Amino acid sequence: MIYNTLAHYYDALVKDEEASREWVSWIESELAPCDCLELACGSGEITEMLAQKGYTMTALDLSEEMVKQAKSKNLEGSIQFLCQDMRDLHNLASYSGIFCLCDSFNYILEKEEIDALEVSLNEDAGRREAQKKLAEEVVRDLHGEEGLESALKITNALFRGQLNDLDEQQRLDAVKNMDKVDQEAGKTLIDVLVEAKIASSRREAREWIKGNSISLNGVKVNDEALVIDSTQAYVSNYVIIRRGKKRYYCLNLK
């Protein structure tokens, strides 16, 4: 592998601290410090910077020598480095964030697929086809074809607000990574909206309810006196409130 030969000279040839800082800034803008996986980490420049920012990093690269170079930068030993193909991730756990940075994406797909994605983006940048394709590849490698199909079903259900289309396990998976707010059971819908800080006031909450902007577990509700208790649970003790088309709130009933 050519990168085993290049590893010792890699930073001297391509190191770009400004670009690395820009990548780190972009990640920080998208995701607070958490457990993350970096695919094709190379010499670990960005990996180390993220670790110093408080991210719990696991990073992998196909080149054993590149992994050695990356490990040499992490003097604290806080990063888990793996010599592994990013197209086969079945042995790894789940992560809150997964990155495939710089030009590493080109090592996953055939050139024809990259060209097709570029055309798609040029025709309609809003479709985010490249990002979706990368996400699908990563999920497929981590969880297999069945896991990908389940993830796509969950994503579509959340996007369309059709939460009742999911089975129990898919419902648990859907709420797993949602931010959760503890909420006392037995309160009315309007009280819950204010107490959970979904609405800033009862007046605002009432306007949303009357305007059909509030859904409970995928179903529009317009009764501000509706009591939110265990009978309303979507799965386990969780209730899912949706405001508008995109804002979801997961309430953990106590």
Beta pairing class for 56-61 and 80-83: parallel
pTM, full prediction:
0.49
Question: How many Å apart are CA 41 and CA 37, to the nearest integer?
Answer: 9
pLDDT (tens digit per residue) in 49-105: 999 999 999 999 999 999 999 999 998 899 999 999 887 777 888 889 988 888 777
How far from the centroid of its chain's Cα atoms is residue 212's Cα?
29
Phi then psi for 252, rounded to 5 degrees? -100, 105
pLDDT (tens digit per residue) in 148-182: 788 888 888 887 778 888 999 999 988 887 778 89
pLDDT (tens digit per residue) in 123-139: 555 555 666 666 677 67
Beta strand segments in 105-200, E: 180-183, 187-188
- Say how many C-beta atoms besides its own lie within 10 A of residue 109's C-beta: 17
Specify burial of residue 240 (Cβ count, 10 A radius: 0-12, 13-18, 19+): buried
